[in-house]
Structure 1
Amino acid sequence: MSSLQLLLRNSRGAGSWFGRSGAGALSGVLSVARRSIIDLSYSTHFMDFNGSSIPSSMKKLVVTKLSPDFRSAVSVQTVAIPTPADSELLVRNRFVGINASDINYSAGRYDPSLKPPFDAGFEGIGEVVGLGLSASSRYTIGDTVAYFGSGAFAEYTVVPAKVSVPVPAVKPEFLTLLVSGATAYIALKRLGDLAEGETVLVTAAAGGTGQFAVQFAKQAGCHVIGTYSSNEKAGFLKSLGCNRPVNYTTEDLAKTLRKEYPKGINVVYESVGGSVLETAVNSLANKGRLIVIGFISGYQTPSGIPPFKGGTLPVKLLQKSASMRGFFLPHFLSDYTEALSSMIQMFAKGKLVCEVDYGELAPGGKFVGLESIYRAMDYMYAGKNLGKVVVEVAPPSVSNSKL
């Protein structure tokens, strides 16, 4: 008797799936089955051990104490491979993305009620190697998916099927869109109110999210200023259409903006904080809009907040009828599906650059394996990255065939 027949027989006994609705759910599996399925629960999920070589254990990064020092807060642990529930997928991670906010998460700043230990990482992309029966109505073994959720810094992650994003291939370029691209797309669309001919300032413009803010502002017909820290980044920004790259290590940003843009800046996409944020406020035009999407310059400090002289902020905003608004992606999830769909289409048509930094030029070389996430984090916080920092968790699987 085949394992699939065994599954059906036991499902009849369980009585929860092999009724009229259960037969319909399994009919698609029966019609295309090409490989035996090992079903651990007999009625709730499929696990493709043979085709995907699922081991008995895996490594993952776990926050064991709250600290903005990522190396001391997070440790590598070996645990059993998780089992997907009825509506979940088990994803074998190929690539994971590094975000500045990973440190805020490890420091417990997003959810004070969350106590260690808890899993680290926000975004991943890989192949489906296990799934629940409900999830099998949309996915099958071998499908490639990306996701935005907790616990991504692991060799395998269980992900709700409803928040998984089908992608045509396991390319890290798709990974850049999940947080970095979506933040720029939604923030500028909902809060920027961009108009053709306006002047837009993007800080950390050659970074993971800055690269997208530059492109979306250009697509809106705006004149774009982008701050950067090295000559290599200047060339990259020009290739994206940035009109005025500004090297903040060799130029005085405040003086440059006063001299070259005396009428002020219409929209600022700001992620650095501190003195850069002060300069941005002082440089706003009448009816200018400043969007705060982060303040990375303070994340590694105990408070997580860089010093900011905001005593006269109300006066400065009032005098210019200007506004300053914050953007936190989880608050805009109603816009997420449209944003992601639009960006994937743009990328497919060659209308969107998704620059990925694998760390080839980093000390120690390319970021490969979970342990390299520590180096990748240091690399990003040193401002060395060009585009989105990505870690390759595992090489391509031996087989991508489907059930």
Structure 2
Amino acid sequence: MYRKIVCEKLSTNFRECTRIMTAPLPKVRTSRRTRRAPCEQSHHVLGCSPQALNSGSILVKNEWCGINASDINFTNGKYMPGVKPPFDCGFEAMGKVAKVGENVTKLKEGDSVVYTSFGAFSEYQEIDARAAVSLPKIMPEALPLFVSGLTASIALEQVGEIKKDEIVLVTAAAGGTGSFAVQLAKQAGCHVIGTCSSDEKVEALKALGCDRPVNYKKEDLFQVLRSEYSDGVNVVYESVGASFFDIALNNLAKKGWSQEGGEKKPSTPITAKLLGKSASIRGFFLNDYTREWKPHMAKLLQMTQEGKLKSLVDQQACKQFNGLESIPDAIEYMYEGKNIGKVLVKL
């Protein structure tokens, strides 16, 4: 048996809408005629006989999992409208191969792998072997590259269409995804402004190459943008919402764009503001860009190996959060803005 976190009702309160459940570990197929038990979906396996491991799959014993702002968007149904509980939670994990399907040739038991898949908040998970990236050893710093790194890389290139010498504003810049966005925008030759909530984070952003860190608890972001960037910003990587979204929208340069993130209605209709600047708001969801995953991951891994990209991991979180029981605490820790870099939980 193994344990996993399952969402039982739609809610933004991760702690209240989820619980830890147990399920039987899958068995390796003994012949090609072996078929799965009738209860194929992972959130339906309780009380069923063990499933057979798919011939092209591997079973991973997870050692680390990543925390994302998307974890709450997933449990409240925002990312998958119409989804009905129960369903498994979590998006990314790293661990060692525990079992190998009969047609898997490139991986073996004991290999270290990292992957992204629904249901990663689990002690074990079956995944398609093709989705796993092999590692020489368990490397927590490689885990943020998947969801956070891919999101920043693809969004800036495909949606933001950033160009050299543009001014890019990144909100939540010291977080897991924001820290990648800052570095990638700098690599593209842009001038980068990054928002954060403490002097410690300001120093972390400077170390990443951020040109103008803004501690919004000490400085007025709107006034900083109006006084220091009077012509506006070209691209805004916006992942906070509320007032940050409005500030970003009001400070867009002509033909600029902002990633959608806010709910608050400005006094002037958004359409009028966009029309007056020939600007745009563009949404981004990582799962809509699966064809871009492999080339962008290859680029991120190469940049990391060459020392051109730093995977920023929150060291305090690594020490503080252990086991599935600590995942709700880790999510709250991130939403309280305490993290510098990616929040990881050791399983």
Counterpart of 1:125 (choices 70, 91, 94) is: 94
Kindly state the Cα deviation for residue 311 of structure 1 after the two structures are TM-superposed: 5.1
- State the distance in 1 between where 2:134 and 2:326 align: 27
Overall identity of the aligned pairs, in %:
50
Kindly state the Cα deviation for residue 309 of structure 1 after the two structures are TM-superposed: 2.5
| Bigger Rg, structure 1 or 2 | 1
Asked if 1:374 is matched to 2:342, the reply is no
The AA in structure 2 aligned to 1:329 is L
The AA in structure 1 aligned to 2:19 is S
Aligned to 1:356, the other structure's residue is in SS state coil
- State the distance in 1 between where 2:143 and 2:265 align: 33
Asked if 1:317 is matched to 2:274, the reply is yes
Aligned to 2:176, the other structure's residue is in SS state coil
Give the corresponding residue for 2:182. Answer: 214
Give the corresponding residue for 2:192. Answer: 224
Give the corresponding residue for 2:117. Answer: 149
Q: Which moved more, 1:75-84 or 1:380-389?
A: 75-84
Could you report, residue by residue, the CA deviation over 1:267-321 in whole angstroms, capped at 9, with x for unpaired residues? Answer: 11100111111110110111112123x55xxxxxxxxxx4232752112112111
Give the corresponding residue for 2:84. Answer: 115
CA contact (8 A) 1:359 1:376 kept: no
CA contact (8 A) 1:97 1:176 kept: yes
Aligned to 1:368, the other structure's residue is in SS state coil
For structure 1, list consecutive stretches of 5 or more residues without a partner in the other structure: 1-56, 296-305, 394-403
CA contact (8 A) 1:61 1:77 kept: yes
Asked if 1:92 is matched to 2:67, the reply is no
Counterpart of 2:211 (choices 238, 243, 263) is: 243
Kindly state the Cα deviation for residue 348 of structure 1 after the two structures are TM-superposed: 1.1
For structure 2, list consecutive stretches of 5 or more residues without a partner in the other structure: 28-52
Kindly state the Cα deviation for residue 360 of structure 1 after the two structures are TM-superposed: 4.7
Is the alpha carbon distance of 1:360 and 1:263 closer, same or farther for their aligned partners in structure 2, counting shifts above 3 Å? same
The AA in structure 2 aligned to 1:93 is N
The AA in structure 1 aligned to 2:326 is S
The AA in structure 2 aligned to 1:80 is P
Root-mean-square deviation (Å): 1.5
Runs of 4+, deviation exceeding 4 Å: none
Give the corresponding residue for 1:197. Answer: 165
TM-score, normalised to structure 2's length? Answer: 0.89
Is the alpha carbon distance of 1:262 and 1:376 closer, same or farther for their aligned partners in structure 2, counting shifts above 3 Å? same
Is the alpha carbon distance of 1:371 and 1:359 closer, same or farther for their aligned partners in structure 2, counting shifts above 3 Å? farther
Kindly state the Cα deviation for residue 220 of structure 1 after the two structures are TM-superposed: 1.0
- State the distance in 2 between where 1:367 and 1:358 align: 10
- State the distance in 2 between where 1:153 and 1:273 align: 26
Give the corresponding residue for 1:351. Answer: 308
Give the corresponding residue for 2:50. Answer: none
Counterpart of 1:288 (choices 247, 253, 256) is: 256
Aligned to 1:388, the other structure's residue is in SS state coil
Aligned to 1:376, the other structure's residue is in SS state helix
The AA in structure 2 aligned to 1:115 is K
Is the alpha carbon distance of 1:312 and 1:381 closer, same or farther for their aligned partners in structure 2, counting shifts above 3 Å? same
- State the distance in 2 between where 1:107 and 1:280 align: 26
Asked if 1:172 is matched to 2:140, the reply is yes
Asked if 1:327 is matched to 2:274, the reply is no
Kindly state the Cα deviation for residue 79 of structure 1 after the two structures are TM-superposed: 2.4
The AA in structure 2 aligned to 1:326 is G
CA contact (8 A) 1:358 1:367 kept: no
Counterpart of 2:24 (choices 71, 80, 84) is: 80
Count of residue correspondences: 322
Is the alpha carbon distance of 1:218 and 1:138 closer, same or farther for their aligned partners in structure 2, counting shifts above 3 Å? same
Asked if 1:391 is matched to 2:341, the reply is no
Kindly state the Cα deviation for residue 167 of structure 1 after the two structures are TM-superposed: 2.4
Kindly state the Cα deviation for residue 358 of structure 1 after the two structures are TM-superposed: 4.2
CA contact (8 A) 1:275 1:308 kept: no
CA contact (8 A) 2:317 2:345 kept: no
Kindly state the Cα deviation for residue 332 of structure 1 after the two structures are TM-superposed: 0.7
Is the alpha carbon distance of 1:335 and 1:310 closer, same or farther for their aligned partners in structure 2, counting shifts above 3 Å? farther
Aligned to 1:234, the other structure's residue is in SS state helix
The AA in structure 1 aligned to 2:223 is K
- State the distance in 2 between where 1:384 and 1:121 align: 20
The AA in structure 2 aligned to 1:391 is V
CA contact (8 A) 2:317 2:343 kept: no
Aligned to 2:255, the other structure's residue is in SS state strand
CA contact (8 A) 2:7 2:89 kept: yes
Give the corresponding residue for 1:42. Answer: none
Give the corresponding residue for 1:68. Answer: 12
- State the distance in 1 between where 2:239 and 2:80 align: 21
Could you report, residue by residue, the CA deviation over 1:63-119 in whole angstroms, capped at 9, with x for unpaired residues? Answer: 122211101111112222234211111001010000111112112222344322211
